Chain A
C-alpha cells in the first residue's frame, strides 16, 4: 500500500480520519496507533515483530537511561563538592554503556537485516581472491517497512535521552505511535521525539483548515509523483539498463531525467506524508527546501533530505569531530598547518564518517558507498581549497556576490549533483563510469532532432513532464522569496480557489502515469 494508490488515499486515510474524528479526544491515539500497525502489517506481515521489538526495547532502554540520570542527580546532590566530579564520571560511564548497548542493538538489527548479504558477498570474494578457506553464509533477509527510518528515530531518541535533552517517555503507546505513525513510516521524515511525539499524543480535532490544507499538500505531492516521477520511470529504467545501446546525449538526458524523477518521487511522497500529518494536526518536519537553488554541494545537502542530514550532523559529525581524540588532533594540526588547514583534519575524518554512513544508509551496494564518497570529496575539497578559489577569483576580478556568479554556482551544483545521482542509480560503479565516459566521448545531440532516441516514449508525455517541472519550479521560486502558493490561493475568492483545486486534481487524473500501459511504481525511497 503506497501513498499514491487509491487504497491508501481513497479508503485507508479517509477511514482513519473518520474514526479519529468520531472518537473522543482521549481515545484518538488508539485509532492512530492501530492504523499505523495495520498499515505496517499490510505491507510487511509478520515482520511487524521487528518494529514491536524495537519499540519495546527503546522504551525500556530509555527508562533505564532515565533511572541512571535520576540516580546521578540524587547522588550528586547528596555528595560533597569534591566527590561530585567522580560521581558524575561514574554515572556517565553507566549512561554511555547503556546508550552504546541500545545503539548497537538497533544498528545491529539494521546491519544484519539490510547489509549482511552485502558484507558476506564481499568478504567471500575477498576470501576467494586470497585463497582463504572460509565461506560466509549469504542470506538475504526480508526487509520490514521503513526499518532505515524508524531505526534512526530509535537511535536519536536514545541519544537524546542519554544527553538529557529529552526526558524518557514512560508512556509506551505514545512512544510506539511516534515510532510507527503511518504517514511517515515508509519514507520519513526522520522525526525527533521532541518534534512530534507530543503533537501526535495531543490528538487535536480535525478542523476545516487542517483538512483542506492537508488535502492540498497531498494532491500537490501526487502531482509530482504520478505526473512526473512515474512518467519518467520507463525512460530512466531503459537508459540505465541498456546504456550501451544509447548515444551519450541520450545518457545525458537519462541522467537529468533520473535526478528529476528522484526529486519528484521523494519530495512528492514527502508532500503526501506531510499533508496526511497536517490533516491530523501534526506538523511533520520539512525534508526539502528548494535544493536546486543551492550554490554549493554542501548547501544542497542542507536542503535535500534535511532530516537525514541533520541526523548525521547531530549523531555522527559532532560526536566524532568533538571527541577527545579529534580535539587533540585538531590542536596539534593547528600548530603545524595553521588555522585554516589545521581543523580540517578532524572535520575531514568526521565528514568521511558521515558520508560513508550516508552512502551505506541508501543501500548495500558499492555504488551507494561511492555516491557517499563522491560527496565527501566534493564537500571536503570545496572547504579545503576555499582560500585558493577566493584568491583566483580576486585575481580575475570576479565579484563573488554578483548575480551571474550565483547563477554559475547554481548551475555548477546542479551538474555535480546530477553526476552523483548517476552514480547512485547506475547498475554498479563500472556502469556509472562507462555512462560518464560515453557522455564525453560519444555525445551527439542530433539524435533528438532525428528522433532516434526513445521511440517508445511519447513526446507528449515528456512535454507534460516539462510543464509540471516548470510549475514546480515556479512554486519553488515563490518559496525562495518567502511566499506560499497555498496562502496566496487561500486568500482568493471561493470560485478562484475551487478552480485552482479542480485544475490540480484534473491535471493529475488526466496526465498521471497510471493504469493502461503503466504499472504501479513503489516510492523510490521506500526501498532504502
Chain B
C-alpha cells in the first residue's frame, strides 16, 4: 500500500518536473526577439533601455504613468548629464515593478532605482500578483502570446534589441487642464494601510537592490488626484522604518514650481510636458546633490544621449 502510494507520488512529481521543463523550453523558444511590439515585447517604450549599452544608465524610474508623464530623462540629462530611464507602464503594480526591477538588474547596474510611491501605496489584488510571481519562474506565461508574431524564421533568429527610444520611456502630453487643489495635501495625522503583501514586495526589491549594490529611493510625483497626507504618512513611516529615502514632491510643489492651472494634463492626475520639465529639472539637482552623479555630457561614450536630446528638444 505504502509502496504503491510512494510510486504514485513519484509519478506525479515526475509529471510536474516534465511540465516545468517543457514550460521553460517553450519560454526560451518564444522569448522576445527584440524590444518592440513586433519582436514580442509589450511595453515598447518602457523596455527601450534594453537597447542601451550595458551599465550605461545611472538611474531607473520604475512605476506607473505618474512617472512616464512626470519625469523626463532627457531634461535631467540636459540639466545635469545624468543618464536616467522611465521603466514605467500604465497602472503598474508593485508586483510588476518587482519583476521589472529583476529584469533591469539582469542587464544594467544602475546606481539608483527610484520606485513610484503611488505604485507602492495603491491597492493590489492578490490574484494578479500571484500570476506575476509565476511569470518570474515561467516567463512563457508573460509572453505566451508571441506565437501570433513568430513564424519558424523568427523562432530560429537570435535576440537582438535594436529598438532605440530617444525619449527614454517618457511619454509627454502638451494639453493643460486646471487641477482641483481643494483637498490636495491637507495636513493629516492618519495613515493609509500598508499591507503585508506590499511590504513583502518592497522587501524583495530592497534585497535585489542590495545584492546588486544599487541604492533605492521611493518618490512621489505631484498629483492632486492621487496624493494626500494619509498616503504620504504611510510611505514615510515605512521608509523610516526600513531606512529608505523618500522624496515626496507633493510636499515641495512650490519649490518645484508646479502651477496647478497649467502643469497638469488631466485636472491633477498626471503632469503635462511643462509640469514634467519642472519636476525633471528639480530632480536633476536633487540627484546630483544627494547622490553625486557624474556629469556625462562631455563623455564621448554618451554622445548618443546628446543626439537624442537634440532630436527631441533642439527646436525649443
Contact = CB atoms under 8 A, between A and B. Distances in A.
Contacts of B19: 502, 505
Contacts of B23: 506, 509
A520 B128 contact: yes
Contact of B134 (A6, A461, A502): A6
Nearest to B133: A6
A509 B142 CA distance: 10
Interface string B77-111: 00000000000000000000000000000000000
A198 to B, nearest CB: 26
A498 B147 CA distance: 23
B15 A458 contact: no
A461 B148 contact: yes
B208 interface: no
Contacts of B135: 515
B130 interface: yes
A134 interface: no
A510 interface: yes
Contacts of B140: 509-510
Contact of B145 (A11, A498, A517): A517
B201 to A, nearest CB: 16
B22 interface: yes
Nearest to B42: A516
B26 interface: yes
B143 interface: yes
Interface residues of A, number: 25
Main secondary structure of the interface of A (DSSP, over half): helix
Contacts of B128: 520
Contact of B141 (A1, A5, A515): A515
B148 A502 contact: no
A143 B22 CA distance: 42
Interface in B3-22: 8, 12, 15, 18-19, 22
Contact of B144 (A5, A498, A509): A509
Contacts of A7: 126-127, 130
Interface in B104-124: none
A249 B132 CA distance: 40
A64 interface: no
A498 B22 CA distance: 12
Contact of A510 (B127, B142, B147): B147
A82 interface: no
**Interface-centre pick from B15, B141, B145 (highest chain A CB count, 10 A):** B145
B148 A506 contact: no
Contacts of A511: 144, 147
Contact of A5 (B26, B127, B147): B127
Contacts of B145: 515-517
B131 A510 contact: no
Interface of A: 1, 5-7, 10-11, 208, 211, 458, 460-461, 498, 501-502, 505-506, 509-512, 514-517, 520
29 contacts: A1-B127, A5-B131, A6-B127, A6-B131, A6-B134, A7-B126, A211-B12, A460-B148, A498-B15, A505-B19, A506-B23, A509-B23, A509-B26, A509-B140, A510-B30, A510-B140, A510-B144, A510-B147, A511-B144, A511-B147, A512-B144, A515-B135, A515-B141, A515-B144, A516-B42, A516-B142, A516-B145, A517-B145, A520-B128
